[in-house]
Structure 1
Amino acid sequence: MTASTTAPGRYADVNGVHLYVETHGSGRPLVLLHGGLASGEMFAPLLPAFTADHQVVLVDLQGHGRTADVDRPLDARLMADDVAALVDHLGLGPVDVVGYSMGGKVALDVAIRHPGTVRRLVAASVPVRRDASYPEILAQQEQVGAAAAEFMKGTPMYELYQRVAPRPEDFPRLLDKIGAALAQDFDVTEEVRGLTVPTLIMAADADMAPPGHFVEVFGLLGGGRRDGGWTGEGRPEGGHALAILPGLTHYDLASSPLFAATALAFLDRD
């Protein structure tokens, strides 16, 4: 079964993946990366803010939205390689990358694995260790798999997949792959400590991990060690920053105007 689409984007073949890509606006290029079980469409309410001064590239990552799955694990590192290859394919040069949740992990891996691809990075709702997430969140993640597909019917994630996916019947397979990815232990503390790309660590004040974890990540980047000074001379040397957005959760962070305003304030700093 193949779903028909009337979306305004196009496809780019990179690393064996037929990636769906949309480009909006003009200006300095900015790649927006969506969360798990979502697609680039999730940023539609904020797109006018992002496209005011930027050329925005929306990517549907492997197995998500209008990009069909391929025969490999759903691994953020592999998807990061896809994004870097796409930037090269499009001839965009160093780009700003903004990612949320799963897309934030992919964005972080782009900066770690392909630093020359990224001008500035915004990583939103991205713990750098698996055990940083609340225990109840880890317990919920253990339930993600094909068996949950029936229970997800009627949810926005299921509706989106059925509406736009090239193979809507692959939804249980996607859940299995996401479940397998979530079960993998990870700790990229040292990789983050070595980041050379100016990075904004962003989170909601009621996210999947406590605010203190994101403060800890900021500390890995040299933040929070001293007073910033009258002219900012005490800020982290790499140009890194931290934002804990008030009154938000993991689930509404990336649809809040605060998300766009905070990301753009960091990206447009120079």
Structure 2
Amino acid sequence: MTATGQYADVNGLSMYYEVHGSGRPLVLLHGGLGSGEMFAPLLDTLTAHRTVVLPDLQGHGRTADVDRPLDIRTMADDVAALIGHLGLERPDVAGYSLGGGVALLTAIRHPEKVRRLVSASAGIRRGATYPEILAQQGQVSGAAAEFMKETPMYELYQRVAPRPEDFPRLLDKIGAAMAEDFDFTEEVRGLQVPALVVGADADLVPPAHFVEVFGLLDGGARDGGWTGEGRPKGGHALAILPGLTHYDLFRSPLFAAVTLAFTDRED
């Protein structure tokens, strides 16, 4: 994937973004410790008839960190501001993992700026995450930087970050963010944007959690009916992707397929 990016000044952040393809816009948000580059395996498929906007979120990739915590609510405001900066008319917004949470909060906090939402591999309650994963997350801090030097995340950061020496700081902030309790149940219940909830069948949370989120959106309450009259009232949908984990869903053709199938629908 050739970088053809620019920077936008949004909310005190100099946010890097790339634009690929042409057609109805899709803003696609990467996972933690990643960047828009992580979607390179899917880009040809996604850009066949869509314009894909790939931002690098606060402190990630080519977007330098600023003096504020990493918080998906603030990052959602950044994405909404980028949408305004680019003059996009209610693009679809999709995200994976951290980006899935940011995409969800963008739709919750700025529904007027989002046409359809795809939130993948993102739990809405911290307690839904498997205990052993929470224990691992509790060990993430700047002190772990030395142990991560052989990882793809470190390699990416050293290659593209404006300040490569900030990697321990990013780990500190990610660790602090993951230690915070959260529960967006009520916010999800009031979601005004048609949403596709996506999870791997072996994700960081049980498949039942994604079903629970779908249930908050009027899903799974009744038979869908011959003409779909019994489907969720808000146009929401659910996809549990087979044979995948949290660590490979973002590059799976299945993720691209369900994202396009849902966002290509007419309102």
Q: So what's the TM-score if we normalise by structure 1?
A: 0.97
Please give the alpha-carbon distance, in whole angstroms, between the structure 1 residues aligned to 2:88 and 2:160.
Answer: 27
Return the offset for 1:76: 0.5
Match of 1:125 in 2: 121
Aligned match of 1:37 in 19, 33, 36? 33
User: Aligned pairs, how many?
Assistant: 265
Match of 2:44 in 1: 48
Aligned match of 1:114 in 110, 115, 132? 110
Please give the alpha-carbon distance, in whole angstroms, between the structure 2 residues aligned to 1:234 and 1:62.
Answer: 40
Q: Does 1:60 pair with 2:53? A: no
Match of 1:3 in 2: none
Match of 2:141 in 1: 145
Amino acid at match of 1:200: L
Unaligned runs of 5+ in 1: 1-5
Q: Does 1:170 pair with 2:166? A: yes
Q: Does 1:241 pair with 2:237? A: yes
Match of 1:200 in 2: 196
Match of 1:268 in 2: 264
Please give the alpha-carbon distance, in whole angstroms, between the structure 1 residues aligned to 2:48 and 2:76.
Answer: 26
Match of 1:179 in 2: 175
Aligned match of 2:157 in 154, 161, 182? 161
Match of 2:90 in 1: 94
Match of 2:18 in 1: 22
* Residue deviations 1:161-192 (CA, integer Å, cap 9, x gap): 00000000000000000000000000000000
Please give the alpha-carbon distance, in whole angstroms, between the structure 2 residues aligned to 1:104 and 1:214.
Answer: 12
RMSD: 0.7
* Residue deviations 1:54-95 (CA, integer Å, cap 9, x gap): 111000000000000000000100010000000001001201
Q: Name the % identity.
A: 78
Amino acid at match of 2:180: Q
Amino acid at match of 2:135: A
Unaligned runs of 5+ in 2: none
Return the offset for 1:7: 2.9
Match of 1:8 in 2: 4
Please give the alpha-carbon distance, in whole angstroms, between the structure 2 residues aligned to 1:7 and 1:115.
Answer: 30
Amino acid at match of 1:201: V
Please give the alpha-carbon distance, in whole angstroms, between the structure 2 residues aligned to 1:39 and 1:62.
Answer: 10
Please give the alpha-carbon distance, in whole angstroms, between the structure 2 residues aligned to 1:196 and 1:81.
Answer: 17
Return the offset for 1:53: 1.1
